[in-house]
Amino acid sequence: MQTFITKLQTYIKEGDILFKEPMSGHTSFRVGGPADYFVQPASREEIRGAIMAAKEEKVPFFVIGNGSNLLVSDRGWRGMILQVGKNYQEITVDDNIITARSGATLARVAKEALDHSLTGMEFAAGIPGSVGGAVAMNAGAYDGEIRNILLDAEVMTSEGEFITIPAADLDLSYRHSCVFEKDYLVLSARFLLAPGDPGQIRGRMDELARARKEKQPLEYPSAGSTFKRPKGYFAGKLIQDAGLKGYTVGGAQVSEKHSGFVINRGGATAEEIAFLIAQVQKKVEQQFGVRMEPEVRFVGFEEGETACHFLQK
């Protein structure tokens, strides 16, 4: 691996490459074992360089943003985790267009919109994710979605080419885009907003913040809504109707406040959380014949593990 490290160091400055870094400090579930190499690039050239080095040396790699939609195995990740986040967050505003690098959080972009009296981003103020993940998953809440405001996105292809794709060509639908299917890495996005009254914008953001605090278990680590909404159903209601509100495995629990959330009540392991998610899937399908698809992405789990055998079917 020394050859890989040497190549990596030609692209990434000292201090932005960490070794055996616990992923529990970089995910909203607050669980996860160590990544062999944890890299925080500061430019698109550094992103490309790190990925190409990993490919050349056959080092497994995984790209993350804010870590808000991930469950990392207790064993961690044997390879490189590339965090497009801390060092890649620049936001600029030009008239009513906001350009944000993929590592910027949606909360920061929404705050920037408010500061420039731009409306359309209010729904995103409380979504705990990054711009890159939001584009890839077409994040949404409270009747708002990224596709409603996205102008275009700059991505890097698997060959290392930088291209800009109009929103209309990203195949954006409910919690879906073509980003993962085409092996793109989102580098930045442009959002087209509208002039608005700052008082009304702030009022709407405050209203949504109150609703989140009232209805969601924000006091516990989680990955937000654990499951995608099955067609014709609401995930939380299905889980509650299956008698699973408060269902607990070790330190993991189906929230008693909102059944659509799996939370870390304290001391949970990734295996406990994954097993709980799999049990919810199994029990809901047994009772209602509805297959629940997780929004959470699983990193570092091996096929055939207790939790993932069901999850990966």
Q: Kindly indicate whether the domain formed by 91-213 is annotated with CATH number 3.30.465.10.
A: yes
| Residues 218-239, mean pLDDT to the nearest whole number | 94
Mean pLDDT of the chain: 94
222 is catalytic: no
Q: Given this model, what pLDDT does residue 293 score?
A: 94
Task: Give the burial class of 266: count Cβ atoms within 10 A of its Cβ; 0-12 exposed, 13-18 middle, 19 or more buried.
Answer: exposed
Domain map of the chain by residue range?
2-83, 91-213, 235-311
Q: Given this model, what pLDDT does residue 310 score?
A: 43
Q: pLDDT (tens digit, 9 = 90+) per residue, 183-228?
A: 999 999 999 999 999 999 999 999 999 999 999 999 999 999 999 9
Q: Which of the following is catalytic: 30, 78, 108, 175?
A: 175
Please list, in sequence order, all residues whose beta carbon lies within 8 angstroms of the beta carbon of residue 120, skipping any fewer than 6 positions away.
113, 144, 148, 149, 191, 192, 193, 194, 196
| Residues 265-270, mean pLDDT to the nearest whole number | 96
225 is catalytic: yes
CA-nearest of 116, 77, 123, 81 to 99 is 116
CA-nearest of 28, 6, 8 to 85 is 28
Q: Kindly indicate whether the domain formed by 235-311 is annotated with CATH number 3.40.50.10330.
A: no
The answer to which of 1-5, 80-84, 130-134, 240-244 has the lowest mean pLDDT is 1-5
Q: pLDDT (tens digit, 9 = 90+) per residue, 123-133?
A: 999 888 899 99
Q: How confident is the model at residue 313 (pLDDT cuts 50, 70, 90)?
A: very low
Give the fold, CATH level 3, of 2-83.
Answer: 3.30.43
Q: pLDDT (tens digit, 9 = 90+) per residue, 60-115?
A: 999 999 999 999 999 999 999 999 999 999 999 999 999 999 999 999 999 999 99
Q: Which of the following is catalytic: 102, 225, 255, 259?
A: 225
44 is catalytic: no
Q: Given this model, what pLDDT does residue 304 score?
A: 58
Q: Which of the following is catalytic: 57, 256, 285, 295?
A: 295
| Residues 145-167, mean pLDDT to the nearest whole number | 97
